[in-house]
Amino acid sequence: MNLIFLGAPGAGKGTQAEVVCNELNIPAISTGNMLREAVKNGTPAGLAAKECMDKGDLVPDEIVIGILKDRIAQDDAKNGFILDGFPRTVSQAEALEKMGVQIDKVVEIHVADEKITSRMSGRRVCEGCGNSYHIEYKPTKVEGICDACGAKVVQRVDDKPETVLSRLATYHEKTAPLKDFYAAKGKLVTVEGQEEIADTSKLTLAAVKG
């Protein structure tokens, strides 16, 4: 099953992708995580992406599409995958089609803008494996340390309040049009993001399986 998780930054795409990928035994592929890894490793793609990411702007299509194409060609993605954070523009969605990738379902996790900013201030990410946490909704077992790999858990530079507003504006301008794009193909299902992660997971799994 090839799935896309769509939604504003901080809506919970990554968290729900982690739940659903375990359930369906397919990888969750986050272009944001791959780009952060590239920045950390100082690769050419990472060097080119860093400035855009720090400002909350989108990274140019040619960089992101290249990274995504290589990733979905790997063996573990043969039986399906969840795309988290890709596509983010209509031209990226068209690039997926040109690659011959069939998408089964697009799940939009909807959270109102007013809630996004407060959620983002508590969000944390593991420097090592990229797992996502939240100081209130999904805390680590040991403060500041990733449950999965033991590396340090930090706030992303682009989760600071001033950058979040600009990322939200980018979402509405460039990514939200994808809702119409996929609705016209009969593929869009919208899930209302709940206060409790487990409640959103139930709705998300039902949307994926329904």
Known catalytic residues are: 13, 88, 123, 156, 167
Q: Which two tokens stand for residue 173?
A: 């301008």
53 binds ligand AMP (CB under 6 A): yes
The residue to which tokens 């909807």 are assigned: 110
Say if CB 93 and CB 39 are below 8 A apart: no
88 binds ligand AMP (CB under 6 A): yes
Q: Which two tokens stand for residue 85?
A: 């954070």
For ligand AMP, the binding residue among 6, 24, 29, 35 (CB under 6 A) is: 35
12 binds ligand AMP (CB under 6 A): no
Rounded Cα distance between 141 and 25, Å, is 25
46 binds ligand AMP (CB under 6 A): no
Strands 123-126 and 153-154: antiparallel
The torsion angles phi and psi of 44, rounded to 5 degrees, stand at -55, -40
Rounded Cα distance between 126 and 152, Å, is 6
For residue 58, the minimal CB distance to ligand AMP (Å) is 4
67 binds ligand AMP (CB under 6 A): no
Binding residues for ligand AMP, rule CB under 6 A, total: 17
Binding site for ligand AMP (CB under 6 A): 9, 31-32, 35, 52-53, 56-59, 64, 85-86, 88, 92, 158, 167
